[in-house]
Chain A
Amino acid sequence: MTLQEILHLASQAVDDPTSSLLNTKDAGEFASTAEFLNNLIQENRSLRRHNEKTVTYLRQKIDQLLMVIGTIPLRPEELDNDTLINLDPIGIIAESFIQILEHLRQTNDELELAMDEIQAIFESVGGGILVLDNNKKILSYNHKLLQMFGNQANDLHGLSCKDVICQGEKSGGCPFEEMMETGQPVFETTGCPRDNRFYSIVTTPVRDRSNKIVRAVLLYLDITELMEAKEAVANEKERLSLTLKSIAEGVVATDKKGNITLMNEVASKLTGWRFDEIVGKTACEFLNIFAGKNKDSCLGVFKKVLK
């Protein structure tokens, strides 16, 4: 075998990794050259296998990173091995991750600030605030709520709403079901019999991204004093009504503008008007007893009184 034939076979063996190596026995005087070439061919094949493994590993890692970014894997025909190395997708993605992480850090800082603001609002609101999960278990609450319903407990986390509100006496104090049914905020007024206090409750749903209600925020405002004031006004009104009824004279009351606001039964009999017919209307339109036919003088009388 000539040296040229040996080199030709060696070249073929390099191009086709499945082909056999050079036969040193056939090489005759060039046996040592053939053996040297065989070593080079084997080393070449080994390097190629190693290179293929490296490229395969790189493609796998690039595909993983691309999936994390949110896109599809690279197709082999899209970028050949040389372009893949030159483009350096891992470098590009790694640098992009730096920007993504910086943005996340910035967003986290902003969220932390917003959280502090919300916490400050949470604690400075004049009412008690309760945050419940889907099972009506308490996730968080403010200091005011603990004052209202804590009953000397130090921690309400994980407790049931119904057990805490009014110490479990009043089932109406936790309008969670109604909010879940309607999906809308619920406004309710309820009373706690034990301490005889009244509360205005606003229950607001909190939804996740799929619009499912996952939490509820309940705001409790103590309206006991308001209710007491209302009751006092109603009692006073009743007392006034009884007083007016018992007076033998006709009594008509007006506001600052002279519009009728109140009239007793005697006045109704004397004037011939029912109270519901003239309430809110100018007294002089109906009561001309003060000034005869002259309405101006009637108004004049009122003006003097109302000054």
Chain B
Amino acid sequence: MAQETMQNIIHIDMRGQVCPACLLVAMDNLNKHRENLKSGRENLCIKTDNREATTTIPTTAKNMGYPVKVKKKDTYYEICVGSSMTEDNE
């Protein structure tokens, strides 16, 4: 799992991992970066190739009050969470 921060976006690559481990990592990051995510200073973008994670992570993030956007890429999904994200599921 790779994690890097660029332009106020925290990128986490969880390709190859499955739920619920994916969800736990996502939740851990949502907790750790809570202040910045709530204020809009940061966004969290997760790359995953686990289809179940595209349901569990957005549902949990929404329950926590975060807008979520899911994008289908060529070989994976990108789930972006944060106040500056326009809520949308693609």
Contacts and interface: CB of A to CB of B under 8 A. Distances in A.
Interface of A: 66, 69-74, 78-79, 87, 89, 92-93, 95-96, 99-100, 102-103, 106-107
Interface residues of B, number: 18
Given A100-B63, A103-B64, A71 B27 contact: no
A95 B31 contact: yes
Interface stretch (B8-16, B41-49, B52-60): B52-60
Given A92-B28, A96-B60, A99-B65, A69 B34 contact: no
B34 to A, nearest CB: 7
25 contacts: A66-B23, A69-B27, A69-B56, A69-B60, A70-B56, A70-B60, A71-B52, A71-B56, A72-B19, A74-B20, A78-B21, A87-B28, A89-B24, A92-B28, A93-B24, A95-B31, A96-B30, A96-B31, A96-B60, A99-B30, A99-B34, A100-B60, A100-B63, A102-B65, A107-B65
B56 A103 contact: no
B63 A66 contact: no
A70 B30 CA distance: 17
Nearest to B20: A71
B61 to A, nearest CB: 9
Contacts of A89: 24
A17 to B, nearest CB: 30
Given A69-B23, A92-B24, A99-B65, A78 B18 contact: yes
8 pairs of A and B residues whose beta carbons are closest in the complex? A103-B65, A99-B64, A95-B31, A71-B20, A71-B56, A96-B27, A92-B28, A100-B63
A71 B63 contact: no
Given A74-B20, A96-B60, A99-B31, 16 more contacts: A66-B20, A69-B23, A70-B59, A72-B19, A72-B20, A74-B21, A96-B27, A99-B30, A99-B64, A99-B65, A100-B63, A100-B64, A102-B65, A103-B63, A103-B64, A103-B65
